Structure 1
Amino acid sequence: MPKETKLSPRMSAGIRKFMEIATFSTLPEVDRSSPLVRRNMTIYRENVRRTEGFYIGENLGRLPIIAGIGHMDPDDEDAISGAKAAVEAHNARTGQNVELKRIVRVNAQAVAGEVLYITLEASDDCFYESKVYITNADEPTDPDVVEVDFCRPAVHYQA
């Protein structure tokens, strides 16, 4: 029998926060047999596969997605800290000294924390994509851990 996992209060709060801002619906509210829902799910899955999570599409309506990738507000504090960490990692790797100009788009996936797919514009007027993992702290007083998987020139940016 699997061991029961207990989440810290901070991690539980982080999951609740993500569920409030993610733009996917719960299963009972969506008719999976609807041709429109099936078509939109196909578009969603293809977009996620083709763009590595950076662009999932707009106006696809309510989809029956659990633990999928959803839109996140670019003004969310996790999005901002993730974007800043991505720019710092980019500067450290390349020796450049660019600054965050604006966050263009953020998609997020709830895991044990969050995976953020961030498209950003830097002070060099170039667009970048970064995949950032934010682990919620074990204790409410501990800071979150932000890990930048990569920050690269944007491949999937769509204006």
Structure 2
Amino acid sequence: VNIFQTEGPTTHPTSQPWPGPQPEILAPSLPRQTWASKYKFLLSCLGHCVGLGNIWRFPYLCYRNGGGVFLIPYFIMLLVMGLPLFLMELSLGQYGAAGPIAVWKCCPLLKGVGVAMLVVSSLVSLYYNVVLAWAFYYLGSSFQSPLPWSCAAPGNA
């Protein structure tokens, strides 16, 4: 359907009311979903912040880098760099209402940042899937009568 065509007996079917090539008619995009409440948004943000790395790796890093003394530079960098970058990412996502690649169209110089965000997210998801696969493998192996890692296992005889 051409929205530029006029109806009526005076319009010839082969005439073009727009000089030159016809403009592209874009289909209306569907409205993006929004959060039902502020609390669901807050819980979603907390779920993304507190992940496997915070529960599994953070205590190890504290122990390796000096125990409680490590918390001082950690909290300083959290306040100076972590929270402002997190708020910038949230505000760009909420204001732009677009994905990570399309939201950086506001500054063409930083167009590659969205692609880098997707690449990093893909690599982290692959890493976490491998860690979860190990956990499921050892969970399944723990149901064997002589445990495969015990001294009574047939492979250790």
TM-score relative to the length of structure 1? 0.24
Give the number of the structure whose alpha-carbon radius of gyration is greater.
2
The structure richer in helix per residue is 2
The structure richer in strand per residue is 1
Higher relative contact order (CA 8 A, sep 6+): 1
TM-score relative to the length of structure 2? 0.24
